[in-house]
Every structure is written in structure tokens, then in C-alpha cells.
Chains A and B, each alone.
Chain A
């Protein structure tokens, strides 16, 4: 069964500093990978996705993520954090090889990002 692990429950970063959120997945084939962000009291907003091809993908709000097959990782990065980036971030995987199964997402437990002034 597929699974996603986000090792860091909380991360505190100063405004203007760089940010990296870790994500490790377990899946038998090349997965479809996603990063979502959730602000308090709101739903999930898609930041970026990886399906195939270039292993460095660009997303919205200045975020990027790198797929590393050898490490089963899909880490999210941002060069310079803004106070508005304080939120919870979720990594998710969708299975690719059972089309009839639709696009069920399996999420990690999330990483809460706090931004210091």
C-alpha cells in the first residue's frame, strides 16, 4: 500500500530565510506527487504536482519541489519565506497504474510552518 511520511511536524523559519519541507513516499511504481497548502480554517490549495519528466517542478507562490527516485523523496523548497507562507503543508501521492481506481490521494501527516518576523 502507498504511504507518505512527513518527518517534521513543525518548522519555524525567519522571514526571508529559505525553507525546505521533507516528504518521503512508499509506492511500487513512479507515483504522481503533489504538495498542498492549508491555511487555518480553509481547504487545501494545490501548490505543485509531479507526473513525469523534469524532476524539478515549479509551483505557485514561488515554491518548487524536487523528485528523487533513489531516495523516494519529493521535498518542497522556497528560497525566501514571507509571513503569508505560515500554514500547514501536505505532501500527497496518487497511484498511477490502476486507472479504474480513480485518483485517490494518500496524504502525509503535514508540516506546520511558523514564520518569525
Chain B
């Protein structure tokens, strides 16, 4: 079975631009989470969606938004890009969003570089 797939794998943008990252969860998984991993640090939670509803939001500005589609895939949007947004953006999927006992499975991420 296919794992979590993310696109694109790499992206270069300039300050002030907008970007959309995409994620397809493992088949049967209904929950998608997004994490930001700055070089040399652990991943930081951005959003979680379950059944198309936002279930959690991390400490990120309103420039970050996301949505989940009926097929459970998800998009992460970042507006007005800043140099500090340069990071690896990871998507994770799990069966359901009803508690911490649902292991999350991660994709290989999208490497976003801001010039």
C-alpha cells in the first residue's frame, strides 16, 4: 500500500509570495496533520484535520491555513512568505482523530526554501 505522499518535494519561493503544499494520506486514514521542521529542530505542530474539520491548531500565525477534502487529502497554504518559513513541511496521517493512541505516519515532506 502507498504511504503518505506529499507534493512537491522541493519548492523555492521569494518573500511575499504564497505557496500551496499537498498531501495524500494512507488509504483508509481520515486524519491529516501538518508539521513544520526547521533545520536542526524537531517538528512543530501546525494543524490537524479530521473528517474535513479542524481539530487542532498550533502556535502559527494566520498566514498559515489548511483544508481537507472529501477524499481526505489536504492542502497547506502559506501567504506572505517570510525567510523564517524556510523549512521541511511534513504531513502525517492516522486512522482517526479521537485521541493520542492513533500513531501518525509521515510522508517524506516538502522542502520549502524562501529567497
Contact = CB atoms under 8 A, between A and B. Distances in A.
Do A and B bind? yes
Interface string B88-101: 00101010011111
Which of B50, B55, B102, B103: most chain A CB closer than 10 A?
B103
Interface string B22-62: 00000000010101000001111100101000011010000
A65 B106 CA distance: 21
A113 to B, nearest CB: 15
Contact of A104 (B4, B58, B105, B106): B58
Contacts of B44: 107
Interface in A82-108: 90, 92, 94-96, 99-108
Q: Assign chain A's interface to a size class.
A: 20 to 34
Contact of A103 (B42, B58, B97): B97
A63 interface: no
Contact of A51 (B4, B35, B101): B101
A49 interface: yes
Given A43-B4, A102-B48, A104-B33, A96 B43 contact: no
Contacts, number: 79
A104 B56 contact: yes
B100 A95 contact: yes
A46 B105 contact: yes
Nearest to B97: A102
B108 interface: yes
Given A43-B4, A102-B48, A109 B42 contact: yes
Contacts of B106: 36, 43-45
A37 B101 CA distance: 19
20 contacts: A34-B103, A43-B90, A43-B106, A44-B43, A44-B92, A94-B100, A96-B100, A102-B33, A102-B48, A102-B55, A102-B97, A102-B99, A103-B99, A104-B48, A104-B56, A104-B58, A105-B33, A105-B43, A107-B43, A109-B41
